[in-house]
Amino acid sequence: MRFLSESTGMRIPCYSVLDGNGEIIVGSDYEQLSEEIAVKMYTSMVTLQMMDTIFYEAQRQGRISFYMTSTGEEAISIAAAAALTADDIILPQYREPGILLWRGFTIEEFASQCFGNKDDCGKGRQMPNHYGSKKLNFVTISSPIATQLPQAVGVAYSLKMDKKDACVVTYTGDGGTSEGDFHAALNFAAVTEAPVVFICRNNGWAISTNISEQFRSDGIVVRGRAYGIRSIRVDGNDALAVYSAIHTAREMAISEQMPVLVEALSYRVGHHSTSDDSTKYRSVDEIEYWKKVRDPVNRFRKWVERNGWWSEEEESELRSSMKKQLLQAIQVAEKTEKPPLKELFSDVYDVPPPNLREQEKQLRETIIRYPQDYPSDVPL
Amino acid sequence: MTVRDALNSALDEEMSADPKVFLMGEEVGEYQGAYKISKGLLDKYGPERVLDTPITEAGFTGIGVGAAYHGLKPVIEFMTFNFSMQAIDHIINSAAKSNYMSAGQMSVPIVFRGPNGAAAGVGAQHSHCYASWYASCPGLKVLAPYSSEDARGLLKAAIRDPDPVVFLENELLYGETFPVSAEVLDSSFCVPIGKAKIEREGKDVTITAFSKMVGYALKAAEILAKEGISAEVINLRSIRPLDRDTINASVRKTNRLVTVEEGFPQHGVGAEICASVVEESFGYLDAPVERIAGADVPMPYAANLERLAVPQVQQRELATDLCQWLQLL
């Protein structure tokens, strides 16, 4: 009689390509990047980092109500997006705007959503950071944690019937893996042989809950086997490793029609959101270390520069022009009108039902009677 | 045709007409459905369109919603709506609100169906009625068929509808037989969502009911007729949207209203109907609205207690009570 030990004693090794100085680790196997893709990846990571800083500040100044940064996790979203195609459908958690950025969502579109103005393709329906774009195959973000995981399996189930060269990619954090939906999704994905890549951003913190309090397993990668799912642990701060791992995972998911689990190890440098002050539950030194020494953007920059694909001049040019664009986007978005009144009542159902049509009519009649009580920045 | 066969034929015809429609739930395939509603469908359409799921309501509901996001038309079966509690987040937050929250980018043409409300001797966790729970949420449509005609027409309408629909069946009605016309049997037959049906015309009092209680209301109307009281019985069919026009028109004719439901009284369907009638037809009411509902207790198991916890049609008591009540005016 032998019980399987609760732990093998050894942690599952982590796939890495670049060392801390941005040099390729001797003997690593990885997908080669073209200069064009590498530079686009780098500039996107810088853009994301700068957007996070400036939009976070805008919230602190009271101009938007809420914001969440991806600071420290830029490689996980950008490098993964670079390894996917435009047909791959993304079901995000909420810390992956990098994917939208890669696919062409503009700074102005991000700002419009955060301000909930009439240019927001989400019609001002949701809180900031809850982006969505059907055009870019990025399913609108929903707040409850991990609900996107079984949804992703459902999308993959439908996609499978289309027999396209595409898969579904869905994200969750380390905290999200505790939800029942994580279990149901992985189990179902395996049973239905769904072409879905599950990416877990293990960034060490779920608001103030450290991973040591979240689970007792060796991270998330070991759970794959429990469901009969192929899995890999990758260094989430190594853009080359993330790119290679996702590129391969995608191929496996599509050619073998099966789910794949990728655990990307990283660190949440920023607070959980603007409603959080993480210095209350973790040391400032820890945050500074990861921010300065383990920054994924700098690490990748060194490799790109070493290849002769990037220079100091291009760096300053990028940062100054991006800063201008970001500040301008906020200014414009702030002054833009809000969505018109009819958008309060549309999209509840496919066709507006009589009771909503009547409510809108009554509201408009009230506005005519008491125009002074109606906000001036909401068009009728 | 029995209600069971009505549902089965509706599913069969809709699956045949549209390859995007598929059925998912526990025991729907090999077992032919926990209540045999999906009998024969696995053999006919194969395992890709009739999916037996592992036991995870939250899981398969989420998966169904995801499939709907990407253009399929899932019919999700809950073995009973009591178990939908485990999936209610997906029903409300993933299905009902998605079209609105995504500004029309994500529609969810999904149907959630299964037995709802009290059965017989199954206790508190198998007898809850969820009509008012789901009907309070914008973005959902909530239907409750009574007869075989209702079952066929409403299920077909639900499957064809682009919005998420909660379809509340009743276990004890599955085996009941109702006459059906040739029109009902036609594969294009559909009942409009949001329209109630006047099952019996009358002029002295309006009785609203849905699902099994429609049968009880009709029996009560028979008894009342012998006492010289003419009751108009309205089969709601649609809880959300509620057919306020039909209800109000009836009350303006009869001037009295009794709402009947098996579920709990507080915040129930009757409460909403009462509010609607008070708001729109106050001047026509000759008496306060009377609500008949289940006892405000978790359903007990013992047969004698169970009988006391739900509305019953008692010949002498109902007729006497109603006569006294009507004469008080």
The answer, yes or no, to whether residue B158 has pLDDT greater than 70, is yes
Assess contact for B119 and B127: CB atoms under 8 A: yes
The answer, yes or no, to whether residue B197 has pLDDT greater than 50, is yes
pLDDT in tens, A244-273: 999 999 999 999 999 999 999 999 999 999
Domain boundary assignment for chain B: 3-185, 197-328
- Nearest Cα of chain B lies from the Cα of A280 at a distance, in angstroms, of 31
For B225-252, b/e burial (b = at least 16 CB within 10 A) is eeeebebbbbbbbbbbbbbbebbbebbe
pLDDT in tens, B251-301: 999 999 999 999 999 999 999 999 999 999 999 999 999 999 999 999 998
- Mutating which of B24, B60, B63 best tests the A interface, going by the most A Cβ atoms within 10 A? B63
Assess contact for B28 and B38: CB atoms under 8 A: yes
Residues of chain A with C-beta less than 8 angstroms from the C-beta of B162: 350
State mean pLDDT over A31-51.
97
CA-based nearest residue to A159, from A94, A287, A254: A254
Distance CA B326, CA B156 (A): 40
Which member of A151, A154, A349 has the closest CB to residue B139?
A349
Q: Which amino acid is at A82?
A: A
Q: What dihedral do alpha carbons B14, B19, B21, B26 form, nearest 10°?
A: 110
Residues of chain B with C-beta less than 8 angstroms from the C-beta of A360: none
Question: By CA distance, what is B138's nearest residue in A?
Answer: A348
Cα–Cα distances (Å) from A48 to A68, A77, A97, A101, in that order, read 12, 10, 8, 8
The angle at the Cα of B234, spanning B231 to B238, to the nearest 5 degrees, equals 170
Mind giving me the DSSP string for B127-166? Answer: ----HHHHHTSTT-EEE---SHHHHHHHHHHHHH-SS-EE
Distance CA A240, CA A303 (A): 9
Residues of chain B with C-beta less than 8 angstroms from the C-beta of A130: 101
Q: Is A23 helix (H, G, I), strand (E, B) or coil?
A: coil
pLDDT the model gives residue B328: 47
CB contact under 8 A, A191 and B98: no
Assess contact for A348 and B141: CB atoms under 8 A: no
Question: By CA distance, what is A126's nearest residue in B?
Answer: B101
Percent of chain A scoring above 70 in pLDDT: 100
pLDDT the model gives residue B315: 56
Q: Is B260 left (phi over 0), alpha (psi -120 to 50) or beta?
A: beta
Selecting among B13, B77, B126, B262, the annotated active-site residue is B126
What is the CATH topology of the domain spanning B197-328? Rossmann fold (3.40.50)
Report chain A's mean pLDDT, rounded to a whole number.
95
Complex ipTM, two decimals? 0.84
- Nearest Cα of chain B lies from the Cα of A229 at a distance, in angstroms, of 17
The answer, yes or no, to whether residue B149 has pLDDT greater than 70, is yes
B317 catalytic? Reply is: no
State mean pLDDT over A206-220.
94
Q: Does B230 touch chain A (CB under 8 A)?
A: no
Which helix (H) or strand (E) segment is B76 a member of? Answer: strand B73-77
Q: How many helices (H) and strands (E) does chain A have?
A: 13, 7
Question: Would you give the distance in Å from CA A296 to the centre of its chain?
Answer: 15
User: Beta-carbon neighbour count of residue A312 at 10 Å?
Assistant: 8
CB contact under 8 A, B94 and A151: yes
pLDDT the model gives residue B153: 97
CB contact under 8 A, B71 and A158: yes
What six digits make up the tokens of B178? 């109702």
pLDDT in tens, B220-246: 999 999 889 999 999 999 999 999 999
CB contact under 8 A, B102 and A140: yes
Q: Does B197 touch chain A (CB under 8 A)?
A: no
CB contact under 8 A, A353 and B194: yes
CB contact under 8 A, B63 and A154: yes
Within this chain, domains B3-185 and B197-328 share the same CATH topology: yes
Distance CA A270, CA A201 (A): 14
Q: Does B238 touch chain A (CB under 8 A)?
A: no
The answer, yes or no, to whether residue B18 has pLDDT greater than 60, is yes
Q: Is A198 helix (H, G, I), strand (E, B) or coil?
A: strand
A272 catalytic? Reply is: yes
Distance CA B247, CA B281 (A): 10
pLDDT band at B326 (very low <50, low <70, confident <90, very high): low
Residue with tokens 């986007």: A329
pLDDT the model gives residue B329: 41
State mean pLDDT over A100-125.
96
pLDDT band at B321 (very low <50, low <70, confident <90, very high): low
Distance CA B98, CA B87 (A): 16
pLDDT in tens, B31-70: 999 999 999 999 999 999 999 998 899 999 999 999 999 9
A67-71, B185-189, B316-320: lowest mean pLDDT where? Answer: B316-320
pLDDT the model gives residue B323: 59
What six digits make up the tokens of B92? 């409300």
Ranges of H-type helices in A163-283? 180-192, 211-214, 221-227, 239-255
pTM: 0.91
Three-state secondary structure readout of B81-128: HHHHHHHHHHHHHHHHCHHHHCCCCCCCCCEEEEECCCCCCCCHHHCC
The answer, yes or no, to whether residue A342 has pLDDT greater than 60, is yes
B169 catalytic? Reply is: no
* Burial zone of B136 (CB within 10 Å; 0-12 exposed, 13-18 middle, 19+ buried): middle
Instruction: Note which residues in 16-55 of chain B have CB less than 8 A from chain A.
Output: 48, 51, 53-54
What is the CATH topology of the domain spanning B3-185? Rossmann fold (3.40.50)
Q: How many CA atoms lie within 13 A of B245 on its CB side?
A: 7
Distance CA A16, CA A13 (A): 9
Q: Which amino acid is at B198?
A: I
